[in-house]
Amino acid sequence: MSVFPIPTPSGILRRRFQGSNTLSGRCLEAPMPDLVENAYAKINLTLDVTGKRPDGYHTIRSVFQSITLCDRLTLLSGPEGEIRVASDRPRLSCGRDNTVHRAAEAFFRAAGIQNPGVFLLLEKRIPWQAGLGGGSADAASALRLLNRRFSFPLSGAELSEVGLNIGADVPFCLTNGTMLAEGIGERLTRLPPLSACHILLCKPAAGIGTKEAYRALDRDGTFGDRFTEPMLGALRGGDLTEIAKYAGNVFEPLALLPEIPQIKTRMLKSGAAAACMTGTGSAVFGLFERIGQAQTCAKDLSGIYPEVFLCEPYSSC
């Protein structure tokens, strides 16, 4: 099984970042502890698409749940006036299209602060094109880091407004926990926390692009609220078996990857209370009451699929 322990800041900085994302091969001094942030992934316990606005954005009702799988972002001083992003993943673009870079630019603009120069070092663990909100989580962690570094010039509401211009999931990633998301994902309502459980994630080698998934949905025309409303009542009850009945995702039948039903079947046969694709895919999560069953399933899946993670629900509250 792929095991990705949360790295320490010194672990990040002992390595040299190589390739196009380098910091010129420099070894950097360790940052202050309060200048490191975890960027937590999320799963969609439910995901319904209720319609499409005239501007092309889709409206959703979804129960978001943050989980302990995370990237880690470290803030250091950089060359005056510059924003530089580096990552331990050579394939990851660290230019102005990166969500961390975009978040830093947006923060300085919104806060009215002259950029003194920042390095943002990103340790990636959340898979790409998985439906786990990795890019949004990274942007949110950058906004939190910079807001703390510059003595909180922006309120929580102002940070959320800045984040929404980067991605619809960023406002949720700024707060974490269990939430009902409506609108395009920006209207958030705190919900009772998910019952204690173990969450097994498995991502096939192939990913699914968000735009591609929404185009398929537009062709299919499957709009409505099938899963989310009953899930709200189940969460209030707090029983994992009841919660599991309503886990569902409108995109799952449209995802033309044979691995997704195969992973779900293996999880359910191993004792998962529920198994479901998250976001627009391609990662699948299973909710397990018993850690032993989750570990056994993780071992089974890791012999077949490249990225398998065992984690738990997370809340910063």
DSSP strand pairing (307-311 vs 83-87) = unpaired
> Pick from 199, 259, 248: which is nearest to 69 by CA?
199
Cβ neighbours of residue 127 closer than 8 Å, sequence gap 6 or more: 134, 203, 207, 283, 307
Identify the bridge partners of residue 73 per DSSP, sorted by sequence position: 37, 122
Q: Which of 42, 124, 203, 264 is catalytic?
A: 42
Residue keyed to tokens 């890019």: 135
User: Is position 220 annotated as part of the catalytic site?
Assistant: no
Active site residue 169: yes
How many CB atoms sit inside 10 A of residue 35's CB?
17
Asked if 312 contacts 295 with a C-beta cutoff of 8 angstroms, the reply is no
State the catalytic residue, choosing from 88, 124, 169, 203: 169
Task: Produce one character per residue of 48-68: b if its CB has 16 or more CB atoms within 10 Å, e if not.
Answer: bbbeeeeeeebbbbbbbbbbe
Catalytic center residues? 42, 169
